[in-house]
Amino acid sequence: MNQLKPKVAAVVTVLCTSWSHADELPQTADYGTTYDSEGTAGAVRFVAPYDMEIVAAEPGCGCTGVEYPQGLLKAGETYSIAYQIDTRGLTGAFASSIDFSVADRSDKWQLQLEGQVVRMLPRELYLGTIQGDDLSAIIRRIPLTQIDEQPRRIRRVQVAGKGIEAAVVDSGTAIEFAPTAGLTWGDRIIATVEATIAAEGEEYLHPIEVRGRVSPRFSLEPQSASFGVGIAQRRTTCQVRVGLPAELADASVQASSSCSKVKLEIEHQQEADNSLVIHISNASDFPAGTLNCGVELQIGTEQVLIPVLALTR
């Protein structure tokens, strides 16, 4: 697959400011707006204010390249400096500089290159936690960023991973993400969507990492009823909040203990936020050693197990 070549800036605006030896030498150039994946190139024209020779050029970062006129530059003659900026990984306002050493001058002439870098598409899409009874929340439509007079189109997308599918929409100017068939409670979304972007006869591959999770059908907070460490005769009450899917918010609830070595008293209270609060208390002494059993909930036609843990010294 071909990489796009750095685009040549159609217009380069040069702003002239003072320099200790010659006001005519430009100090700032605007390279305009460019894509993060393509880089940019341009040229700065200047008139030599006196006979001069540029003996070295030092870019301020490894992302910048420069070509400058060699040999003696005659006063009053026009010359050109060419530059290239690799904008991969950049976004927003970005400035780079080039320091020129001039023969017989102790200070340097600095040229500042300024502009904006935009990202065609995001590199990551984080969906967060989605409720399993409303997977439509996963659907996202992300437009392709356009720069004036530099049209881009998404030619195709390919998905590797699970939980998400993608399609090119809006005549190739956006990607729509949607859940795959069969995505359900507790599933994780881990996928890479690779978009092929066409520009001026060339193609560019842009990967998007997609991450998310469908909430468990029943969530437990905390994950267990833990009575901690203590003496056998202690009396303690633990509280566990059970998150319910919307269709079971008003379902009947029955609770029973599978802990044969300790007598548990269990009460439940339904809350308005689709949750069920379970209160678990021990009505007898804890057995010596480790207790690892559970409370079984029958919620409508479905079952949920709350682990019950304790340690008696």
For 87-123, the pLDDT digits (tens) are 888 889 999 999 999 999 888 999 999 999 999 999 9
Q: Decide: 259 and 306 in contact? Cβ < 8 Å.
A: no
Q: What is the pLDDT of residue 148?
A: 87
Of 10 and 199, the one with more pLDDT: 199
Q: What is the pLDDT of residue 88?
A: 84
Q: Which CATH class is domain 219-312?
A: mainly beta
Least confident of 13-22, 65-74, 194-203: 13-22
DSSP 3-state assignment of 135?
A: helix
pLDDT exceeds cutoff 50 at 59: yes
pLDDT band for 199, please (50, 70, 90 cuts). confident
What is the Cα–Cα distance from 285 to 145, expressed in whole angstroms? 67
Q: What is the pLDDT of residue 255?
A: 96
DSSP 3-state assignment of 199?
A: strand
Section 184-213 average pLDDT: 93
Instruction: Tell me the C-alpha to C-alpha distance, in Å, between residue 210 and each of 71, 162, 261, 301.
Output: 54, 10, 47, 34
Q: Decide: 97 and 110 in contact? Cβ < 8 Å.
A: yes
Q: What is the pLDDT of residue 187?
A: 96
Q: Decide: 145 and 116 in contact? Cβ < 8 Å.
A: no
What sign for the dihedral angle of Cα 15, 21, 24, 25? negative
Instruction: State the CATH architecture for 124-214.
Output: Sandwich (2.60)
Q: What is the pLDDT of residue 89?
A: 82
Q: What is the pLDDT of residue 257?
A: 96
Instruction: Tell me the C-alpha to C-alpha distance, in Å, between residue 142 and each of 118, 156, 176, 260, 281.
Output: 15, 14, 6, 56, 51
Amino acid identity for residue 101 in this structure: S
DSSP 3-state assignment of 248?
A: helix
Contacts of 226 (CB under 8 A, 6+ apart): 238, 309, 310
pLDDT band for 18, please (50, 70, 90 cuts). very low
What sign for the dihedral angle of Cα 213, 216, 219, 224? negative
149 phi-psi bin (left φ>0, alpha ψ -120 to 50, beta other): left
Note the Cα 223 to chain centre separation in Å: 29
What is the Cα–Cα distance from 96 to 98, expressed in whole angstroms? 7
CB-based burial of residue 231 (10 Å sphere; 0-12 exposed, 13-18 middle, 19+ buried)? Answer: exposed
| Percent of the chain predicted with pLDDT > 70 | 93
Superfamily of domain 7-118: Immunoglobulins (2.60.40.10)
Domain boundaries, given as residue ranges, for the chain: 7-118, 124-214, 219-312
Q: What is the pLDDT of residue 106?
A: 87
| Percent of the chain predicted with pLDDT > 90 | 76
Section 147-155 average pLDDT: 90
Could you tell me which of 179, 210, 211 has the C-alpha nearest to residue 195? 210
Least confident of 4-18, 43-57, 256-270: 4-18
pLDDT exceeds cutoff 80 at 16: no
pLDDT exceeds cutoff 60 at 23: no
CATH topology of 124-214 equal to that of 219-312? yes
What sign for the dihedral angle of Cα 64, 70, 76, 80? negative
Q: Decide: 6 and 84 in contact? Cβ < 8 Å.
A: yes
pLDDT exceeds cutoff 80 at 309: yes
